[in-house]
Chains A and B, each alone.
Chain A
Amino acid sequence: MAVAIAVKARYLARLRELAGVETEVMHVSIGSTLGDLYDAARLRHSALPERGSVRGAINLEFEDWEARVSDGDEVAFIPPVSGGLR
């Protein structure tokens, strides 16, 4: 395996309940994307849903699944927000 980087993953709201953990440190290879990280999270926590409507954020900003993560980043997996009927 290539040299690994450490990223702090945070699961919000229903995703936290499904993962059974609020935050955890994940080690992934250099060049990994947000999507790679979520795929790795789903291998660890099988109850997590497919990407579908989940959004990812890096260091408090929404990002595409193709965005690369760096050592020390805080990544968050975010279910659809409350929304509600207009």
Chain B
Amino acid sequence: MRYDVTTDPIDPRELEAIVSHPGAGAICTFSGIVRDNSRGQSVTHLDYEAYAEMAVPQMKKIGQEIKDRWPEARVAMAHRTGHLEIGEVSVVVSVSCPHRAEAFEACRWGIDRLKDSVPIWKKEHAADGTFWIEGSEAKPAR
């Protein structure tokens, strides 16, 4: 199991190795990547900030939710913080299950819940300024 918030680059293959085992016929991995555009503007880079003491327990809680729904699932999650360039991996959720249907579903559950409830924020540095992204809203940073 791995649930962490880190300033180091994240390798999705490392999380897959953690959830991999001989009974797992399917591994589904979501990788979030820093995109070069947002709201119709070009983006130069991002800064991610976490309330780490709370973010990691929240991630574990989501891992438990997945195990409650898909008892055979194994889960690993990692989120990057700090300065990220275009193309870098910001977040990874990897889930293994015996078969692909539940692997897809459990992985999607994991990333959707993470985006809803784990206290991590994105500050977007774009052509038109610097913004905090709060849900679907972009609010000017100071």
Residues of A within 8 A of B (CB): 10, 12-14, 17-18, 53, 57, 60, 62, 76, 78-86
Contacts and interface: CB of A to CB of B under 8 A. Distances in A.
A32 B117 CA distance: 25
Interface stretch (B5-13, B94-102, B132-140): B132-140
Contact of B116 (A13, A60, A81): A81
Interface residues of B, number: 25
A76 B133 contact: no
A84 B134 contact: no
A83 B135 contact: yes
Contacts, number: 66
A82 B117 CA distance: 9
Contacts of B119: 12, 57, 76, 78, 81
Contacts of A85: 136
B134 A83 contact: yes
Contacts of B69: none
B122 A60 contact: no
Contacts of B116: 81, 83
Interface string B102-139: 00000000001001111111110000000011111101
Given A81-B115, A82-B120, 20 more contacts: A12-B51, A12-B119, A14-B121, A14-B134, A14-B139, A14-B141, A53-B135, A57-B119, A62-B117, A76-B51, A76-B54, A79-B121, A79-B132, A81-B121, A81-B135, A82-B115, A82-B133, A83-B115, A83-B133, A83-B136
